[in-house]
Amino acid sequence: MIQYDKEYSIFKIDTPHTSYAMGIADDKYLGHVYYGRKLTDMNLGYLMRAEDHPAAPSVLPREKTGFFDCFPMEYPFGGTGDQRESCINIKTEDGQQGLELAYVSHRIYAGKEPLTGLPATWGDNCETLEITLADEVTGIRALLSYTVFTDTDAIAKSVKIVNGGNRNVYLTKVFSSSLDVEREGLEVLTLPGSWARERRLQRRRLGYGSAAAESVRGMSGHQDHPFIALLSEGCTQTEGEVYAVHFVYSGSFLAKVMEDQFGRTRMVMGIHPDSFCWKLAPGAAFQAPEAVLVYSDAGLGKMTRNFHDLYRKHLIRGYWRDKERPVLINNWEATYFDFNTEKLLSIAREASGAGIEMLVMDDGWFGHRESDNSSLGDWYVNEEKLPGGLKYLADEVNKLGMKLGIWVEPEMISEDSELYRKHPDWALRIKGRKPGQCREQYVLDLSRPEVTEYIYGRLKAILESANIEYVKWDMNRPLADVGNAVLPPEQQGEIQHRYMLAVYGMQERLTHDFPGLLLENCASGGGRFDPGMLYYSPQIWCSDDTDAIERLAVQEGTQLLYPLSSIGAHVSDCPNHITGRTVPFETRGIAALSGTFGYELDITKIPEEERKQIPSQISSYKKYNHLVRNGAYYRIASYQENHLYDCYMVVSQDGAEALLTYVQVMAEANQRSRRIRLQGLLEDALYEIEGRTYQGATLMNAGLLLERMKGDYRAKLIYIRRYTSRY
Ligand code: DGJ
């Protein structure tokens, strides 16, 4: 529910269990008042301190900049006195900066308007508050939108900037969210990483000064994640407060927290200003991407479940959203580039016999691509490798009762390609410089509509040429040499964002033109695993590191925010191609079962005793996937923290059944069993676990005993079923 109280000049936005409040001070300035547990009171304006010291500008004009520098501005503007991190700044045609945004009007309406060209949360059961602020001197208007859904504890925020003046203005910075938090001893949580080591949890004490997560790579990236959270001191999975913000965007971003001289903390999120400058002609508008805010008063676990609920119900779209996904086998780690139709069909024959439902042909089926050094852009099938083309392959795979999926990398161009020989200027490049290669490839300049049109046209033709039911959309290098010969000098700062809009535009068309298609995004593993991409594809490849043990950490960081149904996870061959580690096949299967589940190995070559386990792994997938997809997720223990074991569970929304995953990474000596305290069960219910019954409250408070297994890297799946509702 959203309310405006005229008497107190207070806006209050309620989700089922939280409130977010703003107030108007000095009849002009929109201040942030509160975000936390639900409040019923509207008398909240005193929290902005605008009436006491330092007094508001109308009372004490001689201290106006001092007021700006400590007022909890809801959408802080730069250049006029607030010296903390601002959300917006501009450059005028006179080359000058500075804004002063004042409250003009607001409206509250049922529903939510889509963000043109951008991914965003959606739904019918929601309400939106739109507040208009304006700068008298330039005519710039900022329209702040806040949407709340009746069934989710999250707030979706976005900002639209309109040039209401009569001269061009250049937006040099436009963030999507700011939140001032007044609390001592805050810690910061971010998700840094690297290729094959994505989204590791990093926590540190904040103190005076700032901390950030950021990308200027033109992609959200492996190295930082567009997420930042402030935690109360010592916050755990079950206790403590969390203020979190996640960005529904896949390009360069800045997430920053900053504690100021008064011990108050500001947390901002938006497009990275370093690579951004957008021209706004008179009357023109710029829509900044959406940011979502979650508050939890019961630790990180509750934050996680709020994000999962929001994304499952109000971000992911399309035919596959709530459905069990086909068990796939991908040939990347099986063959790399060395395959042909016969090899693929031999994998498919064996796979279909084992119960696998889809063959995914990875990189190397087009142009003359025998390695990663050529042919990107030449989206024509290589008939030497695949005689009869995609049609023949799809038909043969379909005859085996399987679906066919393919890999593409539409955003790239190889120097050794027909496309590059014809259009060298289609690669992003800075005037006078030869662009630098990465994986021997360049980035296509998708900010140019003719490039996008061509690439999308090829993609569409390929998908229409055969029965292709799945696409893995890969992106294997960051943007660099960002420039082109088309946009005028004053608009070169728009290229990165235009690029992102073009990627979104192509994926929107794809999902529209092929509504039954299962799209999986990917970027050298999980380099663009973000809420923006999740809007277009219900699943994203999580990491190129398929080692089940390494994967525990990658999956933990990913599960912190994303529903398990969206996390691509495969069983691969051992010794693992990246780490060289050998892990029992059963453990590899159990680790992958908490994601979308599939295989990435040469099924014709793995040992017979492993191949024999595949049908039972698939039947576990069929048996438990409804819980993995829809259940509430609880993180019980983290191998990243304890270095010994990992444990998490999913509980059906009605508490009637649950699945516990336990991975004993190291077999400790002289340790017979471990007591594990479960979560999320019904206190009074009686549960059955492996033939014994336990009370829910006992399992959650006293725990379950898990026997030590023989050897390292052992895993166990434990199914928990409600026996009776009352003990
Ligand atoms: C990177 C992906 O993450 C891999 O799974 C694979 O598709 C390769 N690219 C292919 O080039």
DSSP-assigned letters across all residues of 401-455: T-EEEEEE-TTEEESSSHHHHH-GGGB---TTSPPPPBTTEEEB-TTSHHHHHHH
Residues 6 or more apart whose Cβ sits within 8 Å of residue 648:
556, 559, 594, 633, 634, 635, 636, 637, 660, 661
Rounded to an integer, what distance in angstroms lies between the CA atom of residue 96 and that of residue 38? Answer: 42
**Residue 489: strand, helix, or coil:** helix
Verify whether residue 322 is a known catalytic residue.
no
Q: Does the beta carbon of 407 sit less than 6 angstroms from any atom of ligand 1?
A: yes
> What is the crossing angle of helices 341-354 and 389-399, to 10°?
20
Distance of CA 39 to the CA centre of its chain: 30
167 within 8 A of 246, measured Cβ to Cβ: no
Q: Does the beta carbon of 363 sit less than 6 angstroms from any atom of ligand 1?
A: yes
41-58 average pLDDT score: 86
Phi, psi of 482 (to 5 degrees): -80, 100
pLDDT digits (tens, 9 = 90+) for 55-69: 899 999 999 999 999
pLDDT value, residue 53: 60
Instruction: Calculate how far, in angstroms, residue 172's C-alpha sits from the geometric centre of ligand 1.
Output: 35
- Whole-number mean pLDDT of the chain? 97
Instruction: Calculate how far, in angstroms, residue 473's C-alpha sits from the geometric centre of ligand 1.
Output: 9
**Residue 241: strand, helix, or coil:** coil
Phi, psi of 552 (to 5 degrees): -60, -40
Rounded to an integer, what distance in angstroms lies between the CA atom of residue 504 and that of residue 10? Answer: 37
Rounded to an integer, what distance in angstroms lies between the CA atom of residue 92 and that of residue 90? Answer: 6
pLDDT value, residue 727: 63
122 within 8 A of 317, measured Cβ to Cβ: yes
- 188 is written with which tokens? 């910061």
Q: Does the beta carbon of 522 sit less than 6 angstroms from any atom of ligand 1?
A: yes
Rounded to an integer, what distance in angstroms lies between the CA atom of residue 148 and that of residue 690? Answer: 42
Residue 249 burial by Cβ neighbours in a 10 Å radius (0-12, 13-18, 19+): buried
- 603 is written with which tokens? 């099924």
Instruction: Calculate how far, in angstroms, residue 625's C-alpha sits from the geometric centre of ligand 1.
Output: 25
Q: Does the beta carbon of 544 sit less than 6 angstroms from any atom of ligand 1?
A: yes
pLDDT digits (tens, 9 = 90+) for 502-551: 999 999 999 999 999 999 999 999 999 999 999 999 999 999 999 999 99
451-468 average pLDDT score: 98
Rounded to an integer, what distance in angstroms lies between the CA atom of residue 224 and that of residue 193? Answer: 6
Residue of 14, 362, 544, 646 marked active site: 544
Q: Does the beta carbon of 375 sit less than 6 angstroms from any atom of ligand 1?
A: no
pLDDT value, residue 55: 82
Instruction: Calculate how far, in angstroms, residue 663's C-alpha sits from the geometric centre of ligand 1.
Output: 27
CA atoms within 13 A on the CB side of 240: 20
93 within 8 A of 167, measured Cβ to Cβ: yes
Q: Is the dihedral of CA 540, 544, 550, 554 positive or negative?
A: negative
Of all residues in the chain, what percent carry a pLDDT higher than 70?
A: 99
Kindly give the number of the ligand 1 atom that is closest to the alpha carbon of 407: 7
Banded model confidence at residue 726, pLDDT cuts 50, 70, 90: low
Of all residues in the chain, what percent carry a pLDDT higher than 90?
A: 98
Residue nearest to atom 2 of ligand 1 (CA): 524
Q: Which of 332, 551, 601 to mutate to test the pocket of ligand 1 (most atoms within 8 A of CB)?
A: 332
Kindly give the number of the ligand 1 atom that is closest to the alpha carbon of 541: 3
pLDDT digits (tens, 9 = 90+) for 220-245: 999 999 999 999 999 999 999 999 99
Rounded to an integer, what distance in angstroms lies between the CA atom of residue 547 and that of residue 584? Answer: 11
511 within 8 A of 517, measured Cβ to Cβ: yes
Which of 212, 206, 240 lies closest to 224 in space, CA to CA?
212
Q: Does the beta carbon of 524 sit less than 6 angstroms from any atom of ligand 1?
A: yes
Q: Which of 522, 539, 600 to mutate to test the pocket of ligand 1 (most atoms within 8 A of CB)?
A: 522
pLDDT digits (tens, 9 = 90+) for 296-325: 999 999 999 999 999 999 999 999 999 999
Kindly give the number of the ligand 1 atom that is closest to the alpha carbon of 544: 3
614 within 8 A of 356, measured Cβ to Cβ: yes
pLDDT value, residue 671: 86
Residue nearest to atom 10 of ligand 1 (CA): 363
- 17 is written with which tokens? 């269990």
391-415 average pLDDT score: 98
pLDDT value, residue 275: 87
Banded model confidence at residue 725, pLDDT cuts 50, 70, 90: confident
Residue nearest to atom 11 of ligand 1 (CA): 363
300 within 8 A of 232, measured Cβ to Cβ: no
Q: Does the beta carbon of 525 sit less than 6 angstroms from any atom of ligand 1?
A: yes
Rounded to an integer, what distance in angstroms lies between the CA atom of residue 726 and that of residue 687? Answer: 10
Q: Which of 338, 541, 543 to mutate to test the pocket of ligand 1 (most atoms within 8 A of CB)?
A: 541
Structure letter (DSSP) for residue 283: T
Residue of 82, 445, 474, 573 marked active site: 474
Q: Does the beta carbon of 529 sit less than 6 angstroms from any atom of ligand 1?
A: no
Verify whether residue 530 is a known catalytic residue.
no
Instruction: Calculate how far, in angstroms, residue 400's C-alpha sits from the geometric centre of ligand 1.
Output: 26
Structure letter (DSSP) for residue 15: -
- 73 is written with which tokens? 């501005």
Cα dist from 514 to 5, 104, 358, 509, 701, whole Å: 47, 44, 18, 8, 49
